[in-house]
Chain A
């Protein structure tokens, strides 16, 4: 009991408080690194089959190149963005149209007549999921503002047996 009373509680309390502040600072640094430079992120949902599985996968996000150069997005890139319908969720889809492009809204004819085309406005992108049947994308909520986009998804790093680097699969027909 006397040993407890002899401990220097104020200085221990100061050290503990400083340790907590250091921990908070470390967490903030990790958060900022992951938000502006990139890092691993899990993905859920069927809208990007067969490129991404429904669950259990970790993707590698590259936010640095979009942050430094917002024009570095090309048609066919996988991008991660804040969902326009639910600001608490991030989504991952493929870029189909850049600002100024004329895009066919839905070639399958489900969400719109297959002849309907839109011009993507300035600063917006037309995004589409690879699994068109089960994907809520620009066919539902229209072109997505470039300000909502976080960065590009460049690779799948987990599970190790399906490790892939995503290449741009788009080819242009003249």
Chain B
């Protein structure tokens, strides 16, 4: 209320001033509004730096929660009560694209622009993939500029076996790190290798199962000849 009154008074008084001084009331009234009301100052600061924050999450890193069972047991396993929270890397998709077979990526659905899937890259452009049902053809050569993506849980996954190869431009981000829950915190690598240092317990068995799944995925892909 005081701000409105002071604005009105300064506009009224400025009619007698020379032209270049008349608009200084905008600056003084803005200063008084911002400095007297901390809420206005904080929201203005947030709004002011919002473009940088948006571009940072668009081009560098973003944190998201994983929904759905299509990447079990890598993400959201049945043994976990909570949905995984993961860190995505957008730098290696938007700024400096780098894809390998085995990367877990977030990819937009080609037919529904609001759905984001998290799947694994099985094959790159030029590779020949042996597909799974319900894909109509038994073998597909992935076209230029496209990738073949599949979920780790093949029976419950809407992936390239349903909608075909996906253009690289639909890829949104690459999975880098699992942040939550804390018992599976750590980086998610695109390829696992056999380790000698694990004792032969449940963790070793899980690793071996993951290696077996990786071998099965590799067996269905004929890499493009160099």
In the complex where A28-B55, A32-B51, A145-B170 touch, is A84 in contact with B145 (Cβ < 8 A)? yes
* CB of B54 within 8 Å of the partner chain: yes
Check A86 against B111 for contact (C-beta < 8 Å): no
- Inter-subunit contact A83/B145 (CB<8 Å): yes
Check if B217 is an interface residue, CB within 8 A of chain A: no
Does B143 touch A at the CB level, under 8 Å? yes
Query: Within the assembled complex, what's the spacing in Å between the Cα atoms of A124 and B167?
Result: 13
The SS class assigned to the B binding surface is mixed
| Cβ < 8 Å to B, chain A residues 89-116 | none
In the bound complex, do residue B167 and residue A145 qualify as a contact, i.e. CB atoms below 8 Å apart? Answer: yes
- Report the bound CA distance from A123 to B52 in whole Å: 31
Contact B145–A124 (Cβ < 8 Å)? no
Complex CA distance for A84 and B171, rounded to whole angstroms: 11
Is A4 located at the chain interface by the 8 A CB criterion?
no
| Choice from B48, B55, B110, B146 contacting A147 with Cβ under 8 Å | B110
Cross-chain contact B51 with A85 (CB below 8 angstroms) = no
Residue B100 interfacial (CB < 8 Å)? no
B interface residues with partner A (beta carbon < 8 Å): 48-49, 51-52, 54-55, 97, 108-113, 143-146, 167-171
Q: Which residues of A contact B (CB under 8 A)?
A: 21, 24-25, 28-29, 31-32, 70, 82-88, 121-124, 141, 145-148
Contacts A122-B111, A123-B109 supplied; 13 other A-B pairs, CB < 8 Å:
A24-B52, A70-B113, A85-B143, A86-B145, A87-B145, A87-B167, A87-B171, A123-B110, A123-B111, A145-B110, A145-B113, A147-B108, A148-B169
